[in-house]
Structure 1
Amino acid sequence: MRPIRIPFICLALLMPTWGQTQTAVVNTANSNNTAIRLAGMQALTTVEGISEFRLPNGLRVLLAPDASKPTTTVNITYLVGSRHENYGETGMAHLLEHLVFKGTPARGNIMQELGKRGMDFNGTTFYDRTNYYETFPANPENLQWALEMEADRMINSFIARNDLDTEFSVVRNEMESGENNPFMALWQRMASTAFDWHNYGKSTIGARTDVENVKIENLQNFYRKYYQPDNAVLLVAGKFDPATTLALIQKVFGAIPKPARVLQPTYTQDPAQDGTREVTVRRSGDTQLTAVLYHTAAGSHPDAAAMAALSDVLAGTPNGRLHKKLVENKLAINVNPWGFDLAERGYLVVMAELNKTQSLAEARKVLLEEIEGLQKSPVTEAELKRAKASLLSEIDKTINNPQKLAVQLSESIANGDWRLFFLHRDRIENLKVSDLQNVGLNYFKESNRTLGQFIPTPTPDRSKLPEAIDVAKLVADYKGKAAASEGEVFDTSPANIEKRTQRLALASGMKLILTPKKTRGETVSGNFTLRFGDESSLLNQAATANLTASLLMRGAGNLQRSEISAKLDELKTRIEVMGGGQTVTVRFDTLRKNLPEVLNLISDILRKPALAAKEFELLVQESTAALESQRSEPNAMGSQAMSLALDVYKKGDIRAARSLDESIAALKATKIDQVKQFHSNFYGANHSEFALVGEFDREAIKTQITQLFGDWKSQKNYTRLKAETKKINAKVVQLEAPDKANAFFLAGLPLALQDTQPDYIPLMLANRVLGGGVKSRLFDRLRQKDGISYGAGSQLSASPFDPSGMWVLYAIYAPQNLGKLKASIQEELTQFVKEGLSAEELADAKKSILEERKIGRAQDNELAAGLVAQALTNRTMAYTEKMDAQIEATSLAEVNAAIRKALDPAKFLYVYAGDFVAAAKK
């Protein structure tokens, strides 16, 4: 995305000899046009466009410039996670992650400040590291604020008693939400069973009693010990000026002194396991799981690459052996591998999901036979080729996405060095079948497994566990490959996008929107939406429409499902098909050189799907199991209750809400012949929009799309279905979800609102302040002040065609806090209507929304989706520019008047789902 390339500093001048201390001299255009000398900074190495420096205080700095993305990501990784916690202090690293968002004396609440600026941000904690990142539209002011903020909270965060008093219950609520998830619960119990001594056996979120009783002094000491420059790696990725940024980093972070304390390495290791271990979790739910865990090598070890490929061979979908043996033979619903490549010896979990009627014993038998049967059924060259293509495709996509790369490098940093990311890729490229065989035979042993049974053995067969890797020595001379090709500096203003965009109406009826630009790695994103049918022709067709769309990727042309998956990996392409109601949408990301072949494949997927009976039966089984699993889930129960209570459509209408039983019955009643007939009758491109954004040959693509879809027309007429305004149904619904530690709150208020009405933008701004971001009243009240919810907020929706809007509130919380939640919600709504917004709140809401809209235009896949939406409504980027101006011009009086007109707390439908009976007995 850019016509002028901003060159990176000549690194040959910065580092004549790797590993030796050099003073980095960077030329920047300051007022005196003189060189800024970054005294004492070491220029260490450069690999594939990423350069590493070290400040005198020990902070490591990575610069990954990519001027093709009009956003910048700042990511800081601290080498501290749950592995570093002591007895009685589990969950401390994660709790600290929450508290550093509470602010510093100079900046106040960091989370609110980030939200006010509309930045995309997060903080995450795992076994070996904690990281924080923020992505924002590229400009010097944003970058300076982000760097100064990270330097400030590195050493000046409050970590105060009053913040801990509220936040520990927020973390507890997060803990409870995880306990609702059967996959998470089983994984946690298996890990704790597999490890005797190592902290990898403990959940990062910690023990409830530790989180509730931690002393603030202990937390402050933990913070002062680990949140220091010599234990951190700062990465700046995306669009920025490297020289200016390096000087700014030296200024804001260089002022932090190097601590006197010395961090001691952890040394606890578990011995080789000497027999099968077993754990059983019994809880309320509708899903059966059988799983197996094996200890493996550290992420820096060569075995990690072989294990990643072997995991794909065994448990990938749809090509993996386990998918074919378990899923296709209807012994399980799906199979997933979870690989933990960590700083120290990690592990692999393979988990199979079953419905209520499938046999755990039979599924477990097949699971173990396939994983531990490599001696009898060795890995083939074809399996290795598919696995390598899949893994390398994901790596390439990460390299071409600055935010994704910045965050992913945190994992490599945690494992010992950021260059491990590229070394791991190289190892995957060089894998041989024998490498996969060797790791499989070493680690996939009965004595090294943890599952749901115990089998004693007189002669232990222990795995040989590798010694620790000297990562510094491993990567010392690593140079990597050539950096990915650069793109152009692309202005994402609506006017420039409109200038670059060509809109065509093809003879077939398709609307084609093309926005060509040069991109990093020559990437291109597309969005293709078909529209079909009317109220009469689609009556009672909801299940058929959904199943038809879901079957498209399960075989097409002369390719089976597994071959489509392998082909996408080979082409380094992601294709996602979504469908239901009147539409089917294909979203995809690929490379310029592969685009013609990808378009041919999309044509086969849409026009020549196999619609095979075997895949249809599997899909119905999987979809039914997914619906059954929602019966006792508070979130699903609450959402369905609201949909049914506010429904205004007649039974059988494709827009109508359906109960769980009705949806399951419709699935089971649908036949494959109905799906084939639906595809034949409804699918066609005569009412469609196709948008491409990125690097492609405009004329060649127009010709190819015309050839592929120009003659394809739907047999059924298309008439857009009107969205009716839902009727207000003011009442309270309380649903019981036994044995669920987390409860769900949902409230809905129908509005006769259309996005062309004068009140729409004022209400959009009002929603941002009420609950539309982390700096909002509901979030502040329920999380920051009351400390009872991990996630809370509100959403406002409106149609571009019909007055059919909705205002929705939501929160998760512990069932015993129901009374407090109700009181807090009512107080906030009452005050919101009575007092309205303040001038400061409105200014912050405008800024955050406008910044988010800029970020959205900077993401090619989002831009493609937006261009399709514009084509449907006959809008252009001029409408986007006009809307930005309207947001900026909206007055406080207009917003507060719109709130008083639209928002009445007494007219909401309130839904509460949770285990309230058990909570009342406590």
Structure 2
Amino acid sequence: MRFTAAAVIIAAAWGGLYGSAQAQATAQATAPATAPATATAPSVAVVSIGSAPQRITQVEGITEYRLANGLRVLLAPDASKPTTTVNITYLVGSRHENYGETGMAHLLEHMVFKGTPARGNIMQELGKRGMNFNGTTFYDRTNYFETFPANEDNLTWALEMEADRMVNSLIARKDLDTEFSVVRNEMESGENNPAQSLWQRMASTAFDWHNYGKSTIGARTDVENVKIENLQVFYRHYYQPDNAVLLVAGKFDATTTLAQIQRIYGAIPKPTRALSVTYTQDPVQDGPREVTVSRVGDTPLAGVLYHTAAGSHPDAAAISALSEILAGTPNGRLHKSLVQGKKAVSISPWNFELAETGYVIFMSELSKDQKLTDVRKVMLDSLENIQKTPITDIELRRAKASLLSEIDKTLNDPEKLAVQLSESMANGDWRLFFLSRDRIEALTLQDVQRVAQNYFKESNRTYGQFVPTKTPDRITPPAAVNVAKLVENYQGRAALNEGENFDTTPANIEKRTLRSSLTGGMKLALIPKKTRGETVSGTLNLRLGDEKTLFGQAITSSLVTDLLLRGTTQMKRADIAAKLDELKTQLSIAGGGQNVTVRFDTLRKNLPQILDLVRDALRNPAFPAAELDMVVKENLAQIDNQRNEPQGLGSQAIAQAMDVYRKGDVRATLSFDDMTARLKAVKLEEIKRFHAQFYGAEHAEFALVGDFDAKAVQTQLQTLFGNWKSKARYERLSSLPRNAKPGETTLQAPDKANAFYLAALPVALKDDMPDYVPLVLANTVLGGGVKSRLFDRLRQKDGISYGAGSGLSVSAFEAVGMLKLYAIYAPNNLDKLKTGVREELAQWVQDGVTEEELKDAKKSLQEDRKISRAQDASLAAGLASQLNTGRTMAFTQQVDAAIEKASLAEVNAALRKYIDPAKFLHVYAGDYAGASKKAAEKQ
């Protein structure tokens, strides 16, 4: 509702801390325990209970309280989730920054992870505890959240940590010296993204004075030259309880938690300073504007921006609906005229609902042979002439279904709800989330037609250059919204039913799992249980063909999966999309080669219809010629985009260097040119022939977790798939061993501000071998978690990388594995990167892992595994994988036990047995020629 998916990705890229316990890495560092505090508030260890929290309101299971110091507290208990999320939102973002201080809110977001006098580096502490966490900054707010397995110790630590860094963060000069270059690396990573670059330029062109026209990441010169004193003042002014909203969601005891919050946060005094209200507003735009961004690349983009109303205004609901109606896929008007009309590859809406006047962008992606002039004409005609082709009832109903489906999914996910409520808080009040839903439900054709005609007009457009006009046709600006009065008596509706308190230990999961097989051969693993909102998640894997029959079919097999949801003999693509929205279901089908994977998240009442739909998509695809043409163009555009992207170039180089299969083998790596040639040559008859020959369910696995009737599901699955057999023989393709390819490869990526590093070393290891767990733990120390050596060296110490780490992958069938290292960095820091990686690898192998590192790695790894088992979708995928390997949760329990028992000697022995730093293949992709030229010019 706040953004489309594309815009969420872009916003996160500009404002996120990039900290996730599963995927990102930080490092072990010495805590600055003796550094002086810069905040004036007392330590949160001082307890001053004061008056009891005041209960403000309750809406749909969420209760708001207010402490005497002004802190707003939201409690959203959900006993069915085995995890707890703590989210704190500060009502400060880039909108509040002054001249010369752009990027300060985002830079401060990074700095508060550096520690307080009472605790060391907070990012490392979060990683040590295996918590999923992040910090993000946007126009109107900054938020931080942690998700962890529910227990009192974790919750108390998280609450105390957030209270401590609220007023006691060090914000020290020595930390700023390294962190500003990390932020600069984040800037450069964003500048590599064509859509992100175009968005930034369009926003700065559309706004004359308002800070919404400035990127949240800030100006490079501001970030590099910011005074530590200014940053400290900014911190002390805004990071206070009266400017914060604390939310606890998931599994916890509300009474105990509220008492804890009062004990911890009640000790912080209410500040005496007054918060000023921002008042800068742009005048009504008085003519069309235009901007052009010229950079190296292969993917043309066209965008149109219109100023809209604030997120709290009633018009915002209509803008959300119009975004779906005009640019949704596959039912949007622009999708039909541009994508289906073969003028563009894709179209997406980016709807920014903000505290003050917002805006919406419609963005089109083109292939190299499509014309921007054609797209411009179609986009402007479609957007600014809606009075000639009014919105229809079916268009509005489909848009509502899509938006409301997404809201329902958010309500069923405590972590997602916590983050989404941050956006509503930034707009004035958390209850706006529910009020917006109600407004969407109440939308009429008259509403959306009026809003479209008011905002989507030439004088309010930013597409290109400014053009004077004699007869300005300006919008009618909406009146300011009194949010407090708006939500004063809002009650909402009944809270969702809670699920059961499900024990996620391997033993209990195995006890609750029902395993069986259909008469045709499909294997089943079912876990029926009560869930919040009666949700259910499923995974279905199909296994196809053998080495001989699949030879030369890599591209064909992938295209078949791409087309399965684009039309069946019973339903067209648009009908399928509309049906999924109506059933509030997320469904995907992906794969290639031997494997096809179906994943879905739905509701108990809709499960039978979804299973019928999956059966129709798998067994009765229509393979429309027009859709094949679109899929081919989309794939070609993606390939063209990767040809000049450092990450795409590096990944392709590693894959080809490590390839051991003959050309044509379905397991072989295809070059960009080979993929392009094969895509252009594919025929519809090949697609149909592949499906008819290979698809069947006798070698399939199906896992379902959530709220459902197991007996009814088994009966339905037998009817849908029991007799479905493939015409082609299936035999699993084994993975062949790979030899090390030591050396270095440097690839040029012109005009790219960010560079990408990737290294690989084959390891002859299988996941049931004695050395597997010890090597996994050793990798966790190197770069497999947020507390790791690579991340500490390249980000915390050297300050040259926004993200760095390592990953170990192995097979359950053959002793064929791979250790990979990665990092992003500026091209001019190539020598520093090489030195850092070389020294860390040498020390890792030579000196080994320490006892403290091993202890932290064990805890982090076990917490990750617990969180994975707590997510129904992840659990379903894992059960399906077990059906394929012939394992049960007993194997999971054995791995857990092996992690706990692993000794330091075993870990270091495995490390030295498998890892030789001299045998890595290192690939560096970036604009090194450009960096050398700039360095020479400075001299």
TM-score range, shorter chain: over 0.9
Tell me the CA shift for residue 38 of structure 1: 7.4
Tell me the CA shift for residue 559 of structure 1: 1.0
| SS, match of residue 301 in structure 1 | coil
Paired residues of 1:290 and 1:452 also in contact (CA < 8 A): no
> 1:355-394 maps to which residues of 2 (within 5 A)?
355-394=367-406
> 1:819-830 maps to which residues of 2 (within 5 A)?
819-830=831-842
Matches of 2:444 and 2:292, distance apart in 1: 37
Matches of 1:262 and 1:650, distance apart in 2: 70
Alignment partner for residue 114 of structure 1, among 121, 126, 129?
126
Paired residue for 2:730? 718
Paired residues of 1:38 and 1:247 also in contact (CA < 8 A): no
| SS, match of residue 206 in structure 1 | coil
Task: Report whether the alignment pairs 1:509 with 2:517.
Answer: no
Tell me the CA shift for residue 779 of structure 1: 0.4
Paired residues of 1:728 and 1:907 also in contact (CA < 8 A): yes
Paired residue for 1:762? 774
Tell me the CA shift for residue 37 of structure 1: 8.8
Alignment partner for residue 816 of structure 2, among 786, 791, 804?
804
Task: Report whether the alignment pairs 1:163 with 2:175.
Answer: yes
Show CA shifts across 1:281-314 (max 9, x none): 0011111011100000000000000000011000
Q: Which amino acid aligns with 1:318?
A: P
Deviates more, 1:453-462 or 1:620-629: 453-462
Paired residue for 2:582? 570
Show CA shifts across 1:96-118 (max 9, x none): 00011111121100000111111
Show CA shifts across 1:830-856 (max 9, x none): 000111111111010000110111111
Matches of 1:695 and 1:326, distance apart in 2: 41
Matches of 1:104 and 1:234, distance apart in 2: 20
Paired residue for 2:573? 561
Q: Which amino acid aligns with 1:675?
A: I
Alignment partner for residue 470 of structure 1, among 479, 482, 485?
482
Alignment partner for residue 340 of structure 1, among 347, 352, 363?
352
Paired residue for 1:583? 595
Matches of 2:734 and 2:717, distance apart in 1: 30
Paired residue for 1:752? 764
The gaps in structure 2 that reach 5 residues or longer are 1-47
Paired residue for 1:291? 303
Matches of 2:593 and 2:493, distance apart in 1: 47
| SS, match of residue 112 in structure 2 | helix
> 1:288-327 maps to which residues of 2 (within 5 A)?
288-327=300-339
Matches of 2:501 and 2:786, distance apart in 1: 31
Show CA shifts across 1:395-419 (max 9, x none): 0000000000011100000000000
Task: Report whether the alignment pairs 1:252 with 2:261.
Answer: no
Q: Which amino acid aligns with 1:303?
A: D
Paired residue for 1:844? 856
Matches of 1:735 and 1:789, distance apart in 2: 19
Paired residue for 1:534? 546
| SS, match of residue 123 in structure 1 | strand
Show CA shifts across 1:233-282 (max 9, x none): 00000000000000000011110111110001100000100000010000
> 1:50-65 maps to which residues of 2 (within 5 A)?
50-65=62-77
Matches of 2:109 and 2:275, distance apart in 1: 20
| SS, match of residue 85 in structure 2 | strand
Paired residue for 2:10? none
Q: Which amino acid aligns with 1:633?
A: E
Task: Report whether the alignment pairs 1:876 with 2:888.
Answer: yes
Matches of 1:798 and 1:153, distance apart in 2: 40
Task: Report whether the alignment pairs 1:127 with 2:134.
Answer: no
Paired residues of 1:175 and 1:205 also in contact (CA < 8 A): yes
* RMSD, aligned CA: 0.9
Show CA shifts across 1:726-778 (max 9, x none): 11110100000010000000000011111111111001001111001111000
Paired residue for 2:531? 519
| SS, match of residue 457 in structure 1 | coil
Show CA shifts across 1:98-156 (max 9, x none): 01111112110000011111111000000000000000000001100100100011011
Paired residues of 2:52 and 2:262 also in contact (CA < 8 A): no
Show CA shifts across 1:630-679 (max 9, x none): 11000000000011111100000010011100011111111110000000
Paired residue for 1:448? 460
Paired residue for 1:459? 471
Task: Report whether the alignment pairs 1:217 with 2:233.
Answer: no
Paired residue for 1:781? 793
> 1:516-915 maps to which residues of 2 (within 5 A)?
516-915=528-927
Matches of 1:387 and 1:486, distance apart in 2: 28
Paired residues of 1:277 and 1:451 also in contact (CA < 8 A): yes
Tell me the CA shift for residue 902 of structure 1: 1.1
Matches of 2:269 and 2:774, distance apart in 1: 48
Q: Which amino acid aligns with 1:836?
A: G
Tell me the CA shift for residue 453 of structure 1: 4.1
Show CA shifts across 1:422-468 (max 9, x none): 00000000000111001100000100000024443210011011122
Paired residue for 1:68? 80
Alignment partner for residue 931 of structure 2, among 908, 914, 919?
919
User: In structure 2, do the counterparts of structure 1 residues 38 and 591 end up closer, same or farther at CA, with 3 Å as the change threshold?
Assistant: farther
> 1:10-159 maps to which residues of 2 (within 5 A)?
39-159=51-171
Matches of 1:453 and 1:80, distance apart in 2: 32
Paired residue for 1:186? 198
Paired residues of 1:557 and 1:609 also in contact (CA < 8 A): yes
Matches of 2:262 and 2:846, distance apart in 1: 49
What TM-score, normalized by structure 1, do the two folds share? Answer: 0.96
| SS, match of residue 784 in structure 2 | coil
Tell me the CA shift for residue 40 of structure 1: 3.5
The alignment covers a number of residue pairs equal to: 887
Show CA shifts across 1:530-560 (max 9, x none): 0011100000000000000000010123111
Matches of 2:538 and 2:53, distance apart in 1: 44
Identity %: 69
Paired residues of 2:545 and 2:731 also in contact (CA < 8 A): yes
Matches of 1:892 and 1:237, distance apart in 2: 38
Q: Which amino acid aligns with 2:57?
A: T
Paired residues of 2:49 and 2:263 also in contact (CA < 8 A): no
Paired residues of 1:549 and 1:577 also in contact (CA < 8 A): yes
Matches of 1:428 and 1:804, distance apart in 2: 52
Matches of 2:737 and 2:443, distance apart in 1: 59
User: In structure 2, do the counterparts of structure 1 residues 37 and 199 end up closer, same or farther at CA, with 3 Å as the change threshold?
Assistant: closer
Show CA shifts across 1:7-30 (max 9, x none): xxxxxxxxxxxxxxxxxxxxxxxx
Show CA shifts across 1:494-525 (max 9, x none): 11111111000221110011100000000000
Matches of 2:365 and 2:214, distance apart in 1: 23
Paired residues of 2:288 and 2:464 also in contact (CA < 8 A): no
Paired residues of 2:310 and 2:353 also in contact (CA < 8 A): yes
Matches of 1:42 and 1:554, distance apart in 2: 53
Paired residue for 1:407? 419
| SS, match of residue 338 in structure 1 | strand
| SS, match of residue 412 in structure 1 | helix
Matches of 1:373 and 1:263, distance apart in 2: 44
Matches of 2:325 and 2:354, distance apart in 1: 21
Q: Which amino acid aligns with 1:872?
A: N
| SS, match of residue 212 in structure 2 | helix
The gaps in structure 1 that reach 5 residues or longer are 1-35
Paired residue for 1:6? none
Alignment partner for residue 238 of structure 1, among 230, 243, 250?
250
Tell me the CA shift for residue 713 of structure 1: 0.5
Q: Which amino acid aligns with 1:770?
A: L
